[in-house]
């Protein structure tokens, strides 16, 4: 009887244990299923998700200059230090590649999208898609031209208009010196190598410079040509300009160091002494340009820092954590000229 009871009990106990295990298993599945679903819901990948494990999709516009390479490196380094996963897509200088990259980040449901827009126009649709997916977008380095500014969350980058102003301010000072060697009706002839057509640094560096220079009749801008921020095109453009204006160019204003370096190569091949025969003003501040400034082969380097990585990661974290953050932030920048003491200027890092 006892045996039967024991048997009965054991018969009864076996399914009981399996039932508990089964229930526990189902509970585990439900819990893990729920938490995965939470992570995968686009609306939840933005504010409120775990800031310690951010996945950031970064659409870089290309690798056209030392500035750009320094910028990509700064982003990668900062992401590593913050413990974030950074997915980098190189747009190779094409807007359509950048749009495709942003779409892939939306499909992947990253926590934050960062992009450096190659040009100002044409982003509304893809940004609308990111907004609908609930993914915050940080615009870095360059600005865009858009009616609905709610389509991006924040902007972080240099003040390119101010850079144009800084270039002009240096030239206004230099002009007093140049005037001494000029006859009465002579003017200071400038050629300008501008950046990528339709890009915000090209537009703003042009504007900032012209707002000061055009109202001063000591100056005449002979021509502005786009060298697309590339060293090779800077070379090409300078060759053409020297052919067209063999003895007239007094000043070169170049929107980035890469084009400046290409232009200087051509001048030296033609027996022209850069920094003396032609005054050189460049923007960026990469190591090679600062070295030439110290040697007297460039007269002025307007700083534009690509080291934005840390600030971008902090911003991404603040946005996702729901903390207050500045909608627009700009790093401090300087301007190095032949009139400054450059002996304490440290390595540039790009
Ligand atoms: O000056 C240039 C780069 O957008 C500020 O892009 C950036 C510019 C930089 O190609 O070297």
Among 3.30.590.10, 3.40.50.1110, 3.40.50.11810, 3.40.50.2300, name the CATH number for the domain at 160-304.
3.40.50.2300
Q: Is the CB of 141 under 6 A from ligand 1?
A: yes
Among 3.40.50.2300, 3.40.50.20, 3.40.50.300, 3.30.70.3040, name the CATH number for the domain at 51-156+308-329.
3.40.50.2300
DSSP 115: E
Q: Is the CB of 350 under 6 A from ligand 1?
A: no
Tens-place pLDDT, residues 17-74: 655 555 554 554 444 443 433 333 333 333 444 546 899 999 999 999 999 999 999 9
Tell me the pTM.
0.85
Tens-place pLDDT, residues 100-112: 999 999 999 999 9
- What is the helix (H) or strand (E) element at residue 193, kind and residue range? strand 188-194
Q: State the distance from the centre of ligand 1 to the C-alpha of 256, rounded, in angstroms.
A: 7
How many other β-carbons are positioned within 10 Å of the β-carbon of residue 69? 16
Tens-place pLDDT, residues 287-314: 999 999 999 999 999 999 999 999 999 9
DSSP 278: B
Q: Is the CB of residue 247 less than 8 Å from the CB of residue 271?
A: no
User: Can you give the pLDDT at residue 37?
Assistant: 33
Residue 287's nearest CA partner among 248, 255, 258, 329 is 258
Q: List, by residue range, all CATH 3.40.50.2300 domains of the chain.
A: 51-156+308-329, 160-304
Q: Is the CB of 201 under 6 A from ligand 1?
A: yes
Quick check: 4 pLDDT over 50? no
Q: Is the CB of 260 under 6 A from ligand 1?
A: no
Residue 205's nearest CA partner among 311, 337, 304 is 304
Quick check: 284 pLDDT over 60? yes
DSSP 131: H
């Amino acid at each position: 009887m006892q045996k039967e009871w024991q048997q009965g009990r054991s018969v009864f106990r076996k399914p009981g244990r399996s039932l508990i295990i089964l229930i526990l298993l189902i509970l585990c599945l439900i819990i893990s299923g729920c938490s995965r679903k939470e992570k995968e819901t686009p609306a939840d990948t933005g504010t409120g998700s775990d800031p310690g494990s951010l996945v950031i999709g970064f659409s870089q516009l290309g690798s056209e200059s030392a500035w750009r390479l320094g910028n990509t490196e700064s982003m990668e380094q900062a992401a590593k230090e913050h413990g974030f996963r950074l997915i980098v897509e190189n747009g190779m200088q094409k807007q359509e590649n950048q749009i495709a990259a942003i779409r892939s980040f939306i499909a992947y449901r990253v926590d934050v999208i960062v992009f450096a827009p190659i040009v100002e126009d044409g982003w509304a649709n893809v940004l609308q898609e990111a907004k609908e997916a609930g993914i915050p977008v940080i615009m870095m380095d360059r600005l865009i031209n858009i009616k609905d500014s709610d389509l991006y969350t924040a902007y972080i980058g240099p003040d390119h208009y101010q850079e144009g102003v800084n270039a002009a301010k240096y030239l206004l000072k230099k002009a007093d010196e140049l005037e001494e060697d000029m006859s009465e009706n002579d003017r200071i002839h400038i050629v300008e190598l501008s950046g990528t057509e339709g890009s915000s640094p090209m537009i703003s560096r042009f504007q900032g410079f012209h707002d000061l220079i055009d109202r001063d009749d000591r100056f005449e801008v002979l021509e502005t040509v786009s060298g697309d921020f590339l060293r090779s095109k800077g070379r090409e453009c300078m060759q053409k300009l020297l052919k067209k204006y063999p003895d007239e160019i007094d000043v070169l204003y170049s929107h980035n160091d890469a084009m400046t370096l290409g232009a200087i190569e051509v001048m030296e091949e033609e027996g022209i002494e850069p920094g003396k025969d032609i005054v050189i003003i460049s923007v960026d501040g990469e190591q090679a340009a600062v070295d030439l400034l110290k040697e007297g082969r460039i007269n002025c380097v307007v700083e534009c820092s690509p080291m934005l990585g840390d600030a971008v990661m902090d911003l991404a974290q603040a946005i996702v954590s729901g903390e207050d953050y500045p909608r627009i932030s700009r790093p401090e920048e300087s301007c190095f000229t032949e009139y400054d003491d450059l002996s304490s200027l440290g390595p540039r890092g790009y």
